[in-house]
Amino acid sequence: MNPFSGVFGIGVAVRNSLYDRELLRSQELAGPVISVGNLSVGGSGKTPFVIALGGWLLRRKIEFDVLSRGYGRRTKGVLRVQPDGTASDFGDEPLLIARRLGVPVWVGERRAEAGRAAEAEYGPRLHLLDDGFQHRALHRDFDIVLVSERDLDGVLLPVGRLREPLRALRRADAIVLDKTCNVPAGFEPLVWRNERCLELPPNAPERPVAFCGIARPQRFFEQLQRSGVRAACEISLRDHQEYDEHTLRRLQRAAREHRADGFITTEKDAVKSVGLENLVVAKLTVEVEETDRRFERMLQTMQERKPSWNMPSIPDRPGR
């Protein structure tokens, strides 16, 4: 192991040990918390998964909110995300979640404070903690961890992308893997399989400039190709890129040089009010195998762990 990663790993191990031995205490909210997190820096599909899980909860009329750090925002403290606001105020991912789900989304460096603000307004309810696996300062009642194939042989920060080693998955209640990804040894009973799909609008240009500012841009470009999009050119921007005048001129210049007939990007980029003509948005969705069985069992587990929560009853489905 690289010595820098080794030092980082020691720090991670010491911190986790302090929480495991309760020398550092996690703060608990009145309502239950479902954490959706990962092991690596960016690019695991947490936001689409939160949206998919949130959509399932909405269909079952279960009230919930979302708690997020609000990465990339210029503001400080606890704020409720305004869907008509800006990414600089709330962060691009919380803003996207608020617009897609239409539920309260709260941002705050300290997620426990954000949760208390939510409960002060709405009372105890279910909380979805976005990117929360390493945020052990807030107690959670169910831990979902998304793992990509490259995480399985990854290297710890600062040399690699892993924030924790694979053994940290022992804290997880569910490990979400792509359908084609190998299962880490010893974790088979925890695995949920999922598939990422790209939905294209009917008016997609034939030769667009494809661009994005996400952690794994090549994956987006490959999905576009599999969906039949033949991009005139592909432009990778920095994760959480701000679309200033310089960036917009770069994209417009690329369209002229490659004779593109439009632009295509991700939802996460589009919430930043990208000012481009003939821009279409590709929607990334996540489908979990055996969705109802997985999520219903998750709710039952949380009810067992937090009996004080008045969980709405789950109606029987025909044929179950």
List the domain boundaries for the chain. 7-195+288-305, 198-286
Question: How distant, in Å, are the alpha carbons of 104, 200, 213, 239, 310 from that of 228?
Answer: 36, 10, 21, 25, 47
| Overall average pLDDT of the 298-306 stretch | 94
Domain 7-195+288-305 matching CATH 3.40.50: the answer reads yes
Mean pLDDT, rounded, of the chain: 93
| Overall average pLDDT of the 115-132 stretch | 96
| Overall average pLDDT of the 21-36 stretch | 97
pLDDT of residue 177: 95
Looking at the domain 198-286, which fold is it? Rossmann fold (3.40.50)
Burial of 96 (0-12, 13-18, 19+ CB in 10 A): buried
For 251-276, the pLDDT digits (tens) are 999 999 999 999 999 999 999 867 89
Contacts of residue 181, defined as CB under 8 A and 6 or more positions apart, other chains included, come to 147, 148, 149, 152
Type of residue numbered 176: V
Split at pLDDT 50, 70, 90, the class of 318 is very low
How many CB atoms sit inside 10 A of residue 211's CB? 29
pLDDT of residue 320: 41
For 209-238, the pLDDT digits (tens) are 999 999 889 999 999 999 999 999 999 999
Nearest to 128 by CA among 70, 71, 66, 60: 66
For 35-91, the pLDDT digits (tens) are 999 999 877 889 999 999 999 999 999 999 999 999 999 999 999 999 999 999 999
Check pLDDT > 60 for residue 111: yes
For 154-203, the pLDDT digits (tens) are 999 999 999 999 999 999 999 999 988 988 888 999 999 999 999 999 88
Lowest mean pLDDT among 121-125, 272-276, 304-308: 272-276
Split at pLDDT 50, 70, 90, the class of 313 is low
Task: Report the percentage of the chain scoring pLDDT > 70.
Answer: 97
Packing angle of the helix pair 46-59, 92-101 (nearest 10 deg): 20
